[in-house]
Amino acid sequence: MEQLLDAALFSSTLRVVTPILLAALGGALCSRVGLFNVALEGFVLVGAFSGIVGNYLFGNVWLAVLFAVLCVMFFSLIFGYMSINLNANPIVVGISLNFLATGMTTFLLRAIFNVKGAYYDSTMVGLPKWDIPVIKDIPWIGEVISGQSPLVYLAFILMGVLQFYLFKTVSGFRLRSVGENPVAAQSIGIKVRKHQYTAVLACGVLCGLAGAQLSLGQVTMFTEGMTAGRGFIALVATMLGQANPLGVMASSLLFGFMDAFGIRLQGLAIPSHFTNMLPYIVTLIAMFFFKDRSYLKDANKAGGSSR
Amino acid sequence: MLLQMENITKHYGNVTANQAVNFDLGEGEVHALVGENGAGKTTLMRILYGMEQPSSGSVKVKGNVVSFANPASAMASGIGMVHQHFMLFPSFTVAENIVIGREPTSGGVFDRKQAAALVEKLGEQYGMPVDPWAVVSECPMGMQQRVEILKVLYQGADIIILDEPTGALTPLEVKELLANIKSLALQGKSFIIITHKLHEVMEVADRITVLRDGRLTGTLAATDTDAEQLSRLMVGRELVSLEKQQLELGKAVLEVKGLGIRGPKGKGKALLKDIHLQVRAGEVVGIAGISGNGQSELIQAISGLRPVDEGTVQLAGVDIKGMAVRDIREHGLAHIPEDRYLWGAAKDATVLDNGLMGHHRSLQRKGLVKGKEARAKVSEWIRQFGIKAGSLDNKIQNLSGGNLQKLIAAREFAHDAHFLIAAEPTRGVDIGAMETIHTELIRKRDAGVGVLLVSSELTEILQLSDRIVVMYEGEIAGELSAKDATEEKISLLMSGGNRQT
């Protein structure tokens, strides 16, 4: 057990949790304005692909991240326009965008790079690993926390920012009111659509970062369907965390840990198909405990704790 | 005059909702706007509140001609509206609900402490104290109503429109609300109250404007008129007073013995305790009580919607305890449920589908619904009860509450049942519809059906019942025959005084 739960395990937990956390925060924002966004998977996939394309085009990893963010924002606008302006069912729109993302990235992979399956270029530079001064010298903790990509740190900072925004600021309060009762929000002159678009676009930004971490964070490459269900895990983390940034972080960490732990177990000759099931089994069990609680009820409590 | 609406006309396509209506309001005045469903009251107020534009006519506030493109600009001119269905955020606190849109801040952050203080002060100033930290979903309806009014006051309204303000309130809450309105009017606030409850109108209004079919039929001072004259103006004809003849009572159709339901999870106070109740063929038994004293549980226990812990329930001699709802209904139960949206209708289904519910088994051939017959049947009800339903394929959520209630009542009356539960059968329906439903209830009784009437309207209970049972805290507090029942006696029993069991 000692060997199983070493610092490297927790370090890789932080790494794999980042895309899930970022996407789940985006999902939380959407569900706070009443749009259940099942397209997280597709958003992240587009982000991962455009991160690589940006890196290829500009030869600069920061511009690549920016490019990924812009591409996913554009992609999220489709979701916003369909479900906000055209009043289409967000679930249907989300599912079709997921398929669109799979097809489009596979097609463009061929069209742009002329390869099938995966694109890898050894001259491409991925995201740097940042050593955090002072912390890196603390035994164990330094090993876990230091030396991650900047997006890992950004994800946790954004979690705090969102928690503050939603529950402390006036704008966040109004944004939540839109999801809680759009008709009432409109009746007091709150611009419902504006808040919904803000949330959807912010979700695009977060998913763009999530995709960039995926394709530029650890290995600098893109493979077809490389999100491999992480967007859906993020969706579950959103629900499990009751669309509450702190809760979303807790559930994302749980999934990230199960993911990392699963990879570790594979080293012990436990089949990967089994370990891949772990996050979902945990989800099902967790859902059982949350059966009486909607995230709105949790919003109650969140409102209470921020007194 | 604070407000003048002159010659307001509003057409929707070929339909004229308002035809040359004049309406005015003075400072500190309470002006009631009454009329049946579809008489154009709501349209007129939507025009005033900027939700609709008039086809012609003008609106003047404090002598200046105004035109409101949206509610926000109406609000800016000091007009506020409390909608029939509350516009509240259930998981937010009272203070958050009141200050939303104009939140106090300190350093860019929503200052909830200051909001609470403001709300507390506002409540005190207008004699409507609230707990600013309470979560709205946990507040009773009367408190939510108060939050709505405080919200409008916080937004700086001088003219307050109340759309059917008492529909969801208990009698006690209604009393409080009316008292609040009067005291606010003394402080210079002006009210427009849309309603069809005439005794409330007579109690609180200074003037009353009656609309019928989109036209003004009269504006009267409350001191010069009475409820009878108003109802004539509303309906446009004399109302038939209910004739009840004495009947030979038949066998017991409902026999409840020692019925009990324990509190949630077996703990806490029992919801129902040792209920003995008999309804015989050809009588109307009225159940009075302040809502929440076990009436809902009793109905649900009888109709099979809720499991029973103790005692027996017999319908026409058959023990129905533990039976499925469908079997109970087949043993002769018809049921107009108290909450028409929760138990009575499927919001997204059509008028036809909702009308068919419960009749679908008798109207089928080999598992397929006989479409033609079904349509004919539902159309017949629509004609008979004067339901404004649009087409049969209209979604039920587009119907007004009163019309939906009429449809549900018609559907249940059509069952050939020997026992009928009518729970709040006329909640939110207008006088004409109320008359129809009451007449039909009495006709059912005369035909030998046992009727259990549950109502929070004492006048309804007194008017229809042969026997009145009063419930208090899950028990039967007393029973009165129609002859010696008075509003005072019932009220006393309802409030737990003078137990006579």
Residue B478, phi then psi, degrees to nearest 5: 170, 165
Q: Residue A303: list chain B partners with CB under 8 A.
A: 91-93, 96, 135
The residue of chain B with its CA nearest to that of A180 is B89
Question: Does A188 contact chain B (CB < 8 Å)?
Answer: yes
- CA nearest to B442, candidates B453, B457, B430: B453
Q: CA quadruple B334, B337, B338, B340: dihedral positive or negative?
A: negative
Residue B394 falls inside a structural domain: no
* Cα(B424)–Cα(A60) distance, integer angstroms: 71
* Cα(A12)–Cα(A130) distance, integer angstroms: 15
Q: Residue B105: list chain A partners with CB under 8 A.
A: 170
Q: Which of A168, A190, A297 shows the shortest C-beta gap to B110?
A: A168
Q: Which of A169, A173, A183 shows the shortest C-beta gap to B87?
A: A183
Question: Does B161 contact chain A (CB < 8 Å)?
Answer: no
Same structural domain, B341 and B301: yes
Same structural domain, B257 and B212: no
Q: Where are the domains of chain A?
A: 7-123+136-305
The residue of chain A with its CA nearest to that of B49 is A187
**N residues, chain A:** 307
CB B263, CB B271: distance < 8 Å = yes
Same structural domain, B25 and B165: yes
DSSP element (H, E) containing A210 = helix A192-212
pLDDT given for residue A1 in this prediction? 55
Question: Does A304 contact chain B (CB < 8 Å)?
Answer: yes
- Burial level of A221, CB count in 10 A (0-12/13-18/19+)? middle
**N residues, chain B:** 501
Nearest Cα of chain B lies from the Cα of A136 at a distance, in angstroms, of 35
A-B C-beta contacts closer than 8 Å: 64
CATH number of A7-123+136-305: 1.10.3470
CA B134 to chain CA mean position, Å: 25
User: Token pair for residue B436?
Assistant: 């129809």
Question: Does B397 contact chain A (CB < 8 Å)?
Answer: no
* Cα(B81)–Cα(B48) distance, integer angstroms: 10
* Cα(B161)–Cα(B194) distance, integer angstroms: 8
Flag if B89 and A300 touch (Cβ within 8 Å): no
Domain end among B207, B235, B263: B235
Domain end among B208, B235, B262: B235
Interface test with B, best of A300, A301, A305, A306 (most B CBs within 10 A): A300
Q: At A48, is the secondary structure helix, strand, or coil?
A: helix
Domain carrying residue B150: 3-235
Residue B141 falls inside a structural domain: yes
Flag if B135 and A297 touch (Cβ within 8 Å): no
Question: Does A184 contact chain B (CB < 8 Å)?
Answer: yes
Q: Residue A180: list chain B partners with CB under 8 A.
A: 89-92
Question: Does A181 contact chain B (CB < 8 Å)?
Answer: yes
Q: Residue B100: list chain A partners with CB under 8 A.
A: 173-174, 177, 185, 188, 190
Same structural domain, B142 and B267: no
Flag if A187 and B83 touch (Cβ within 8 Å): yes
Same structural domain, B180 and B270: no
Flag if A180 and B92 touch (Cβ within 8 Å): yes
Interface test with A, best of B100, B136, B153 (most A CBs within 10 A): B100
* Cα(B425)–Cα(A135) distance, integer angstroms: 71
Same structural domain, B260 and B323: yes
Q: Residue A192: list chain B partners with CB under 8 A.
A: none
DSSP element (H, E) containing A151 = helix A150-168
Cβ-Cβ contacts under 8 Å for A134 (sequence gap 6 or more): none
* Cα(B226)–Cα(B236) distance, integer angstroms: 15
CB B272, CB B298: distance < 8 Å = yes
The C-alpha torsion from B86 through B88 and B91 to B96, rounded to 10°, is -150
* Cα(B477)–Cα(B492) distance, integer angstroms: 10
Interface test with B, best of A181, A194, A306 (most B CBs within 10 A): A181
Largest CA distance in chain B: 77
- CA nearest to A173, candidates A164, A160, A186: A164
Question: Does B91 contact chain A (CB < 8 Å)?
Answer: yes
CA-to-CA separations, B418 to A18, B247, B253, in angstroms, rounded: 66, 16, 7
Total domains in chain B come to 2
Residue B368 falls inside a structural domain: no
Flag if A190 and B101 touch (Cβ within 8 Å): yes
CB B485, CB B467: distance < 8 Å = no
* Cα(B225)–Cα(A165) distance, integer angstroms: 57
Q: Which of B72, B109, B137 shows the shortest C-beta gap to A169?
A: B109
Same structural domain, B152 and B25: yes
Residue B312 falls inside a structural domain: yes
Nearest Cα of chain A lies from the Cα of B72 at a distance, in angstroms, of 6
| The amino acid at B405 | Q
pLDDT given for residue B248 in this prediction? 79
Same structural domain, B90 and B216: yes
**pLDDT averaged over 10-residue windows placed end to end, chain B, 501 residues:** 90 84 93 85 89 90 90 89 88 94 89 94 91 90 90 92 83 87 93 87 92 88 87 77 75 91 75 91 90 87 90 90 89 89 86 89 85 90 85 83 88 91 86 86 91 89 91 90 84 72 45
The residue of chain A with its CA nearest to that of B51 is A187
Q: Which of A168, A172, A177 shows the shortest C-beta gap to B89?
A: A177
- CA nearest to B133, candidates A305, A228, A20, A62: A305
Q: Residue A304: list chain B partners with CB under 8 A.
A: 135
Flag if B71 and A307 touch (Cβ within 8 Å): no
ipTM of the complex in this document = 0.82
β-strand B64-66 against B318-319: which pairing, if any? Answer: unpaired
CB atoms within 10 A of CB A219: 12
State the DSSP string of B73-127: HHHHTTEEEE-SS----TTSBHHHHHHTTS--EETTEE-HHHHHHHHHHHHHHTT
CB atoms within 10 A of CB B101: 18
- Burial level of A247, CB count in 10 A (0-12/13-18/19+)? buried
Question: Does A300 contact chain B (CB < 8 Å)?
Answer: yes
The CATH number of the domain holding residue B219 is: 3.40.50.300
Q: Which of B87, B96, B133 shows the shortest C-beta gap to A173?
A: B96
* Cα(B98)–Cα(B269) distance, integer angstroms: 34
* Cα(B188)–Cα(B334) distance, integer angstroms: 50
Same structural domain, B73 and B179: yes
Domain end among B235, B265, B290: B235
State the DSSP string of B28-51: T-EEEEE--TTSSHHHHHHHHTTS
| The amino acid at B133 | W
Same structural domain, B220 and B269: no
Place of tokens 């807790």: A250
Residues facing residue B286 across a β-bridge: B453, B468
DSSP element (H, E) containing B468 = strand B467-472
* Cα(B305)–Cα(B423) distance, integer angstroms: 14
Question: Does A161 contact chain B (CB < 8 Å)?
Answer: no
Residue B363 falls inside a structural domain: no
Same structural domain, B341 and B439: yes
Upper half-sphere CA count for residue A120 (Cβ side, 13 Å): 7
Q: At A52, is the secondary structure helix, strand, or coil?
A: helix
Flag if A189 and B135 touch (Cβ within 8 Å): no
Interface test with B, best of A188, A295, A306 (most B CBs within 10 A): A188
CB B292, CB B456: distance < 8 Å = no
Same structural domain, B263 and B215: no
Residue B120 falls inside a structural domain: yes
**pLDDT averaged over 10-residue windows placed end to end, chain A, 307 residues:** 74 91 96 93 96 93 95 96 93 95 94 89 86 83 86 95 95 94 88 95 97 90 90 89 92 87 79 76 75 46 29
